[in-house]
Amino acid sequence: MSASDDPRRVHFQSPEYLVDRLDAIAELFDKDRTDLLVEAIREYIEDTADSETFQELVATKYYDDQLEFETVKQLVGAETAQRLRLLKADLEDEPLDLAAPDDIDVYDGDATAVEPAGDDEQ
């Protein structure tokens, strides 16, 4: 068991009816209340981390320097965090110093326009 897997005591308050329902479910499945809570939290975190809205929020806050890379890694996983890091580096790079394109007729006047067929002609 790694240090991050070591159990940590957490105290929180919950409406009594939720605790009663949780205890009834735990008894039904012959499980411990803590096991059910940990499982529910794990599933919630996985579902949330997979959400496109959540990932967009993490990316936005990371790009705006409101989240550190290590936090991003915890929130969306190492692979997605690395992708965000690379994209952020690209966004922060100075644009290439390229001259504006010359206004040259690359088709030498031989360009042909094609009109798309209407819906009734197909």
- Is residue 31 domain-resident? yes
The pLDDT of residue 121 is 55
Residues 40 and 63 in one domain: no
For residue 83, the enclosing domain spans 51-94
The pLDDT of residue 50 is 87
- Is residue 105 domain-resident? no
- Token pair, residue 57, equals 């929020």
Residues 17 and 45 in one domain: yes
Q: Is residue 69 within 8 Å of residue 81, measured between CB atoms?
A: yes
How far is 53 from 58, CA to CA, in rounded Å? 9
In tens, the pLDDT along 1-32 reads 455 788 899 998 999 999 999 999 999 999 99
- Token pair, residue 35, equals 């096991």
- Is residue 46 domain-resident? yes
**pTM for this prediction:** 0.60
- Token pair, residue 84, equals 């965000």
Residues 28 and 17 in one domain: yes
DSSP codes, 42-92: HHHHHHHHH-HHHHHHHHHHHHTTSS-HHHHHHHH-HHHHHHHHHHHHHHH
